[in-house]
C-alpha cells in the first residue's frame, strides 16, 4: 500500500483560506469515511484536528474543516492565522486493519 | 488530562533489539485500542502497529511484520513495542497514540530510535 498523496506545500496570507488535498484510491480514502487530519509543529507530536472526514474533536476551532469526495479528501483552513503555520497530515483507514498517512503538507502563512 | 509518555529509545546497531514503552494516564486504558506511529527524520508519519483493548488482536504494517511485536500490560497502563532485527530504515521518532475509532486522538511526545553502526 502506498502513502496517500498530498501537495508538499501550500500558502496563504493572514485571513485567507488554504485548502490541502489528500488523494488515495478506492480501497482507502475512496472506500471509507475514516479520513483524519493532523497538525504538527516542528519537534512536536501531531495533534488531531479532523476525524471521520469532517468532524471536529473538542477544542479544535471551526476554522478547520474537512470534506471528502470520492478518493480525495480535503482540509480547509479558513481565516488563516500565523499560528496555523505547521505541517498537516491526512490519514485513512485502508482496510484489513491497516492505516495510511499522507506525505504531509507544509503550510506557510505569508 | 490524557497523558502518554514514551521511553526506551536510543542508539542501537543494525540487527539489534530495543523495547519501547508508553505509560498511559488520564483515561481508561483498558477501553482503548492503542497504536504506534513512527516518523523518520525529516519525513512523514507511518502507522506501525496497533493492539486491541484486551491484547487479543494486533496488526502491523508489512515492513515490520515478524520483527516488531506490540503488547500491553493493562494492570500497569503500559504499552510496549518490542523491536528486533532493527534496520537503518527503522530510524525514527516513535509515537504511541490512543486509537478510538479510526483516528488517533492523543499522542505522546515520542522517543527517538537510531539504528546505526
* CB contact (8 A) between residue A100 and residue B109: no
Given this model, what pLDDT does residue B66 score? 97
- Positions of chain B with pLDDT under 50: none
Q: How many residue pairs bridge chain A and chain B with CB atoms within 8 Å of each other?
A: 63
SS3 B68: strand
Given this model, what pLDDT does residue B100 score? 85
Q: What is the DSSP string of B23-36?
A: EEESS-GGG--EEE
Chain A residues in contact with B108 by the CB 8 A cut-off are 45
pLDDT of A1 over the 80 cut: no
* CB contact (8 A) between residue A97 and residue B109: no
Interface of A with B in 84-103 (CB under 8 A): 89, 91, 93, 97-103
Calculate mean pLDDT across residues A25-47. 94
* CB contact (8 A) between residue B95 and residue A45: yes
| Residue A26: band (very low, low, confident or very high) from pLDDT cuts 50, 70, 90 | confident
The strand pairing partners of B63, in sequence order, are none
* CB contact (8 A) between residue B102 and residue A36: yes
| Among A57, A37, A47, A99, CA closest to B110 | A47
Residues 6+ apart with CB under 8 A from B59: A97, A98, B49, B50, B51
pLDDT of A97 over the 80 cut: yes
Between A26 and A51, whose confidence is greater? A51
Given this model, what pLDDT does residue A98 score? 92
Distance, CA of A39 to CA of B109 (rounded, Å): 14
Question: Vertex A100, ends B62 and B18: CA angle to 5°?
Answer: 50
Given this model, what pLDDT does residue B102 score? 86
* CB contact (8 A) between residue B103 and residue A98: no
For residue range A43-62, list pLDDT tens digits in order. Answer: 999 999 999 999 999 999 99
Would an 8 Å CB–CB cutoff place B40 in contact with chain A? no
Given this model, what pLDDT does residue A107 score? 98
Given this model, what pLDDT does residue A38 score? 98
- Environment class of A7 (CB within 10 Å of its CB; exposed 0-12, middle 13-18, buried 19+): middle
Given this model, what pLDDT does residue A2 score? 80
Chain A residues in contact with B47 by the CB 8 A cut-off are 91, 98-101
Given this model, what pLDDT does residue A46 score? 98
* CB contact (8 A) between residue A98 and residue B47: yes
d(CA A104, nearest CA chain B) in Å: 6
E strand residue ranges, B1-117:
3-7, 10-12, 18-25, 34-39, 45-51, 58-60, 68-73, 78-83, 92-98, 106-107, 111-115
Chain A residues in contact with B102 by the CB 8 A cut-off are 32, 34, 36, 51-52, 93, 99
Query: Of the candidates B59, B101, B104, which has its C-beta nearest A97's C-beta?
Result: B59
Amino acid at each position: 500500500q502506498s502513502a496517500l498523496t498530498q501537495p508538499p506545500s501550500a500558502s496563504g496570507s493572514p485571513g485567507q483560506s488554504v485548502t490541502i488535498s489528500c488523494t488515495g484510491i478506492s480501497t482507502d480514502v475512496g472506500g471509507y469515511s475514516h479520513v483524519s487530519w493532523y497538525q504538527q509543529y516542528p519537534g512536536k507530536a501531531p495533534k488531531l484536528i479532523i476525524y471521520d472526514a469532517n468532524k471536529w474533536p473538542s477544542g479544535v476551532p471551526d476554522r478547520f474543516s474537512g470534506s471528502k469526495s470520492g478518493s480525495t479528501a480535503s482540509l480547509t483552513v479558513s481565516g488563516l492565522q500565523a499560528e496555523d503555520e505547521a505541517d498537516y497530515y491526512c490519514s485513512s483507514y485502508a482496510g484489513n486493519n491497516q492505516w495510511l498517512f499522507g506525505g504531509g503538507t507544509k503550510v506557510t502563512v505569508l | 488530562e490524557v497523558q502518554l509518555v514514551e521511553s526506551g529509545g536510543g542508539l542501537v546497531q543494525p540487527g539489534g533489539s530495543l523495547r519501547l514503552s508508553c505509560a498511559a494516564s488520564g483515561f481508561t486504558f483498558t477501553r482503548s485500542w492503542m497504536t504506534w506511529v513512527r516518523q523518520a527524520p525529516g519525513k512523514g508519519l507511518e502507522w506501525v502497529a496497533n493492539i486491541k483493548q484486551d491484547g487479543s488482536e494486533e496488526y502491523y504494517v508489512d515492513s515490520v511484520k515478524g520483527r516488531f511485536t506490540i503488547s500491553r500490560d493493562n494492570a500497569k497502563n503500559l504499552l510496549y513495542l518490542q523491536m528486533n532485527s532493527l534496520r537503518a530504515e527503522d530510524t525514527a521518532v516513535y509515537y504511541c497514540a490512543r486509537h478510538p475509532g479510526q483516528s488517533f486522538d492523543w499522542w505522546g511526545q515520542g522517543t527517538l530510535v537510531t539504528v546505526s553502526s
